[in-house]
Structures are given as C-alpha cells and as structure tokens.
Structure 1
Amino acid sequence: MITTRTAKQCGQADYGWLQARYTFSFGHYFDPKLLGYASLRVLNQEVLAPGAAFQPRTYPKVDILNLILEGEAEYRDSEGNHVQAKAGDALLLSTQPGISYSEHNLNKDKSLTRMQLWLDACPERENPAVQKITLAEAARQLIASPDGAEQSLQLRQQVWLHHIELDKGERLDFTLHGPRAYLQSIHGQFHAVTPAEEKEALACGDGAFIRDEANLTIVADTPLRALLIDLPV
C-alpha cells in the first residue's frame, strides 16, 4: 500500500532566518497521528538564511543525518568535535545525552538548504560521533545502513537509506527489508509502483508511506532526485 503525503500537507514554518517544511510533528507543528514512522522520527527540509545558526542544544539518542543540498555548514558539539559539510555531502551525527550540538551556515551571502532526518538509535549501539560521505553520481547509492555496507554511513538502527538520481523515463527496482518504507522526492516527479500495479504519482517535495510491500519500482517522470528510507523495524 502506498499513501502519499504531499508537500502542501506538511507542517510549515517561516521565522525569517529559517524556513522549514516538516513531514512529522516538530517544533510548533503537532499532529498526534504523525509523530514519526517506525524508527524515523523527523524528516525536515530547512533553509537557513545567510550566516544563520542553530544554537547549541541537546537531543534524545538519535542518529541525525543531514543531506546538504545547497551551501556549506559547520557542525560543532560540546565535546570539541567539529566538521564542515557542503552541497553533495551527507553527514551523520551520532548524538549522545548530555552533549549539545550546533549548526551554522558558513556563508554570509547565500542560504543553506538541507534535509534532516532523525532515526531512533539502539541503546546498545555506539558509533563514531561524526561520519561524512560525498554523494556519487549514480542512479542509486546506499548512503546509510546498519553495517556501513558499500562505504555508507553506519547507523545505530536497522535502516537502509538510498539516494536516487534518475533521468526522465529511467526506473529502479527495489527489494525492501521489511513491511515499511518511506519515499521522499527532493526534486522532480515520479511514480511509485507495486507488484500489484498500485501506482502513486509524487511531485517535488512530496513523500509517501510504503506499507506491506516486498518490492517497489520507481519511475522518473522528470529528472528526479529522491530518498528511499527502508524501515523494517
């Protein structure tokens, strides 16, 4: 089953220094039916104004994955770790209770645009505080996984996250690990098709809940950039 969640249905925020779209309940936006999906707690697309910053704050024990779409950011924590990431980078922070984290748009003239995901972390798993990879020019790239397969970022959870980049008319077939997944269009339009020929069209910024499907096909209707988050647990 495929259930679309359009960009217009998502929560919105405009604070001047920050513009955001929230897939799930976050900040001032609250929907008791949308507190996350399996271990996926947060899926935001956010634009930080030139020179803007998120001041230090603490988090629950989650893996925070930032996919930089435009601009350049710096991340710091209260333990002295710091790292910079630019457009085309995927950065993973393995947060810990009691440690605070900050984010800064390094450019004084241009906005920073990124997607941010929070994934529940297994309490017994410990990973490096910061991991970073650069996205490849590929139709499909595994960018995060439980075991760091294919040189992906290593998560503290049973989740597989794929970055998708297709030209118009191209298609990809996926075999999912379990009963749940989430699709997110970053840019472009596509169709998601199940073996039973259920078909849903997604436009730029739209997402979709995938339930009880072992296989899924993605067909690009325009040049496409998207994420597939495979969430069996």
Structure 2
Amino acid sequence: MITTRTAKQCGQADFGWLQARYTFSFGHYFDPDLLGYASLRVLNQEVLAPGAAFQPRTYPKVDILNLILDGEAEYRDSEGNHIRVKSGEALLLSTQQGCSYSEHNASKDKSLTRMQLWLDACPERENPLIQKITLSGDKRQLIASPDGQQNSLVLRQQVWLHYVNLKAGEQEEFQLHGPRAYLQSIHGSFHAQTGAQEKAHMTCGDGAFIKDEAHLTLVADTDLEGLLVDLPV
C-alpha cells in the first residue's frame, strides 16, 4: 500500500531567516496523527538565510542525518567538535545526553538548503559521534545502515537509507527489509509501483508511506533525486 503526502499537505514555516517544510509534527506544527513513522521521528526540508544559525540545543537520543542540497553548513557541539559539510555531502550526528549542538549557514551571501531526518537510536547501541559521506551520483547509493555496509554511515537503528538519483526514463527496484518504508522526492517527478501493481505519482517535495510491501520500483518521469528510508521495525 502506498499513501502519498504531498508537499502542500506538510507543515510550513517562514520566519524570515528560516523557511521550512515539516513532514511530521515539529516545533509549532502539530498533528496528533503525524508524530513520526516507525523510528523516523523527523523529516524536514529547510532553507537558512545567509549567515543564519540554530543556537545550541540538546536532543533526545537520536541519529540526525543532514543532507546538504545547496550551500555549506557548519556544525559544532559542546564537546569542542566541529565540522563543515557542503552540497553533495551528508552528515550523521549521534546525539549524546548532556551534549548540545549548533548549526549555522557558513556563507554570508548564499542560502543553505538541507534535508534533516531524526531516527530513534537503540539504547544499547553506539556509533561514531560524527560521520560524513559524499554522494556518489550513482543511480542508487546506500548512505546509512545498521552495520555500515557498502561504506555507508553507521546508524544506531535497524534502518537502511538509500539516496536515489535517476535520469528521466530510468527505473530502479528495491527489496525492502520489512513492512514499512518512507519515500521522499527531493527534486523531479516519478511513479512508485509496488509488487501488487499499485502506482502513485509523486513530484518535488512529495512523500509516501509504504506499508506491507516487499518490493518497490521507482520509474523517473523527469530527472529524479529522492530518498528511500527502509524502516522494518
């Protein structure tokens, strides 16, 4: 089953220095039916104005994945760690109790556009505090997984996160690990098709809940950039 959630249905925010679209309840945007999906707590696409910053704050025990779509960001924590991440790279922060984290747009004249996901972390698992990966530009790339397979980022959760980059007319098939997944279009339009031949059309900014499907095929109508979050538990 595929249940789409269009970009227009998502929560919206415009604070001047920050423009945001929220898939799930976040900040001022609250929907009791959309508090997350399996271990996926947050999926936001946000644009920070030149020089804008999120001030230091603490988090629950989550893995925070930041996918930089345009611009360059700098991240710091209260332990003295800091790192810069630019367009075409993804950063994974493993939040720790008592540690605060900040983020700011490293450019004074260019906006920063990024997608951010929070995934619940298993209490008994640990991983590197800061990890970074470069997007390969391949049709599909496993960018995060529980065990770091295929040189992916290591998560503290049973989740497999794929970056998809298809040209118009191309297609790619995925075998899912369990009954749930979430699909997010970043740029472009495509059709998602399940093994039961159910189809859904999605375009820029749209998402979809995938339930009780073992296989998923994506067919690009235009050049496509997207994420598939495989959430078996």
Place the TM-score, normalised by the shorter chain, in its bin.
over 0.9
| Residue 127 of structure 1, CA deviation | 1.0
Aligned residue in 2 for 1:136: 136
Structure 2 SS opposite 1:128: coil
Aligned residue in 1 for 2:220: 220
Aligned residue in 1 for 2:97: 97
Aligned residue in 1 for 2:49: 49
| Residue 53 of structure 1, CA deviation | 0.2
Provide Cα deviations, 1:85-136, integer angstroms capped at 9, x if missing partner.
Answer: 0000000000011100000101000000000000000001111110001100
Structure 2 SS opposite 1:91: strand
Provide Cα deviations, 1:152-203, integer angstroms capped at 9, x if missing partner.
Answer: 0000000000000001110000000000000000000000001111000001
Aligned residue in 1 for 2:81: 81
Seq. identity, %: 80
| Alignment coverage as a number of residue pairs | 233
Task: Say yes or no: does 1:111 pair with 2:111.
Answer: yes
Instruction: Measure, in 1, the Cα distance between the counterparts of 2:189 and 2:197.
Output: 18
Structure 2 SS opposite 1:123: coil
Instruction: Measure, in 2, the Cα distance between the counterparts of 1:220 and 1:8.
Output: 21
Instruction: Measure, in 2, the Cα distance between the counterparts of 1:229 and 1:150.
Output: 16
Aligned residue in 2 for 1:19: 19
Aligned residue in 2 for 1:210: 210
Instruction: Measure, in 1, the Cα distance between the counterparts of 2:104 and 2:51.
Output: 7
What aligned pairs does 1:189-204 form with structure 2 within 5 A after superposition? 189-204=189-204
Task: Say yes or no: does 1:152 pair with 2:152.
Answer: yes
Gaps of 5+ in 1: none
TM-score normalised according to structure 1 size: 1.00
Instruction: Measure, in 1, the Cα distance between the counterparts of 2:134 and 2:56.
Output: 25
Q: Give me the CA root mean square deviation.
A: 0.4
Aligned residue in 1 for 2:169: 169
